[in-house]
Amino acid sequence: MISDAQVARFNADGYVLIKALLDKDETELLRREARKDPAIATHAVDREDGEGGKSRITLWNEAGDDFFGMISRSERVVNAMERFLDGEVYHYHSKMMQKEPFKGGAWIWHQDYGYWYKNGCLFPYMASCFIAVDPCTRENGCLQVLRGSHLMGRIEHIQVAGQTGADPERTKEAEKILEKVYVEMEPGDALIFHCNLLHRSDQNTSPNPRWALICCYNAARNNPYKESGHPRYTPLVKVADSAIKQAGERVLNEGLQFLR
């Protein structure tokens, strides 16, 4: 259950770190199935960072009945997002971020709303739940955030070194006055962050992978006014938290593929 203090921290800082959002067994299922599900590899795309590195992303819009859908639809996750966004939410999309050893690329400073704004979402009533699949450390390219930067509002995004990022002049000034936090996480930990929070990550220069599942949500009252690559409002059917393990065990027992 999300406390009033956590909501206040989210509103002030733009993010909240929740330790062990997934328990040990759920985390092991996530780690195992993220790498075994062939659809993760089949649908992955590479993103060059302009510095010789690249990261892989697998993205999907539908929160289905598969294992990953059970995480993004679980009461534990959805209820938390509804507390932070102050009302009903729906699943905007999910993605598996795959930053591999020694070659995982960097991401420049950006806001998610820098992109989602162009999808017809009028208000920044949007947030993401970043769940660590592997340990996230400075060495393997953990997220970095500028505490409180969401209060700056949306920053213009432009092409920088092959990526679309927040205006470098403005982010440089923001770095002078806002605390930069390296968000180091253990597997199963979750970072819930506002869509206007400035965040980035370095290349993975370690021998350890840094994978993460990111489930993104939009407020139902913020239904996009136009079509885009992500869905308009559709009611999100929550499932009991127990559905996460049940789905994972079903896949292990029956050899089913998760993503459809």
Q: What is the DSSP letter of 51?
A: S
Per-residue pLDDT, 47: 83
Check pLDDT > 50 for residue 83. yes
Architecture of the domain whose range is 4-254: Sandwich (2.60)
CA 191 to chain centroid: 8
CB 174 within 8 A of CB 122: no
Share of the chain above pLDDT 90, in %: 88
Residue spans of the domains in the chain: they are 4-254
H or E segment and range at residue 16? strand 15-18
pLDDT in tens, 181-219: 999 999 999 999 999 999 999 999 999 999 999 999 999
How would you write 195-233 as a 3-class SS string? CCCCEEECCCCCCCCEEEEEEEEEEHHHCCCCCCCCCCC
At position 82, the amino acid (one-letter code) is: E
Sign of CA dihedral 104, 107, 112, 114: negative
Integer Cα distance of 114 and 171 in angstroms: 13
H or E segment and range at residue 132? strand 126-132
Per-residue pLDDT, 255: 59
pLDDT in tens, 150-192: 999 999 999 876 788 999 999 999 999 999 999 999 999 999 9
CB 126 within 8 A of CB 92: yes
Per-residue pLDDT, 258: 46
Check pLDDT > 80 for residue 86. yes
User: What distances in angstroms separate CA 87 from CA 9, 150, 220, one per listed residue?
Assistant: 17, 19, 8
